[in-house]
Amino acid sequence: MSDTLPDASERLKAVALTLFAERGVDGVTVRQIAEAAGQKNHAAVGYHFGSKEALVRAIVVHGARLIDDLRNRMLDRLEARGGPASVLDVTDVLVRSSLVPENPPWSACYNRFVVMVELTNHALFMDALEGKWNSGYLRCQDHVRRLLADVPARQVNQRLVFMGAAMAGIISGRERELADTTRDHPMWKSDRTLDRIARALAAILMAE
C-alpha cells in the first residue's frame, strides 16, 4: 500500500484496530502500530492523527458510522411498512446491524475493540460519537419504549441497559470465537444463531 495520506491513515487505523482488539488500547504503543502498518517513520501515528487518543477516536467513529448507517437503513425499511411491530423486530435490527458491514479487520474486530474502550474509557467513547453516530441505536430505544408503553419507564430503561450490555458481550464474544481459525465454528457462523441472539435480547426487554 502506498504512503499517500489517505492510504497510510486508513492502513494505520485498520492495523491499530486489530492490535487494540487483541491486546487492549493500553497494551499497544504507537511505535508498534507504525511498525505493524509497515511505516518506516515510527512517528506516523502522530503525523496522521496527532496522538494515540485521536487514533482511538478515529477508529470508534469509523466503525460506528458503518453500523449506524446500516441500522438506520434497516429501520427506515421497517418504518416504511409500519413497523417495527414487535420488540423482536427491534432486537433483530440491533443484532444484524452490529455485524460491521465492511471487510476485515472491521468486521472481525470492531465490537471487541468497542467493548474494551467502553470498559476502560467510556467518556472517550461517548465523546467520540459526538451524539450523532448512535442515532440508529437511539431510534431502536424509542421503538422499544413505544412497544412497552404499559411498562414503567424506569423499568424499561433498566432493561435497555441490561440488553445493551448483553448484546455487546455476545457479539464481541462471537467475534472472538470466529477469530480462532484453528477450528470450525458452526454455531457462530449460523444465521439461525443471530435469530436466537435477537430472541434472547427481546426476552430481556419483555421479562416480567
pLDDT at 4: 40
Which residue stretches of the chain have pLDDT < 70? Answer: 1-6
pLDDT at 42: 83
Residue 106 inside a domain? The answer is yes
Residue 28 inside a domain? The answer is no
pLDDT at 74: 98
Residue 98 corresponds to which cell in the numbers above? 452490529
Q: Which amino acid is at 117?
A: V
pLDDT at 3: 41
pLDDT at 5: 44
Q: How far apart are CA 141 and CA 75, in angstroms?
A: 12
Per the structure, the complete domain to which residue 119 belongs is given by: 63-206
pLDDT at 164: 97
Residue 48 inside a domain? The answer is no
Residue 4 inside a domain? The answer is no
Q: Which amino acid is at 151?
A: V
Give 118: exposed, middle or buried? Use CB within 10 Å, 0-12, 13-18, 19+. middle
Residue 19 inside a domain? The answer is no
Residue 20 inside a domain? The answer is no
Model pTM score: 0.90
Residue 51 inside a domain? The answer is no
Q: What is the per-residue pLDDT across 28-82, written as a single tens digit (0 to 9) for each?
A: 999 999 999 998 888 999 999 999 999 999 999 999 999 999 999 999 999 999 9
pLDDT at 1: 35
User: Integer distance in angstroms from the first to the last C-alpha of the chain?
Assistant: 55
Structural domain tally of the chain?
1
| DSSP percent split of the chain into helix, strand, coil, nearest 5 | 75, 0, 25
pLDDT at 41: 85
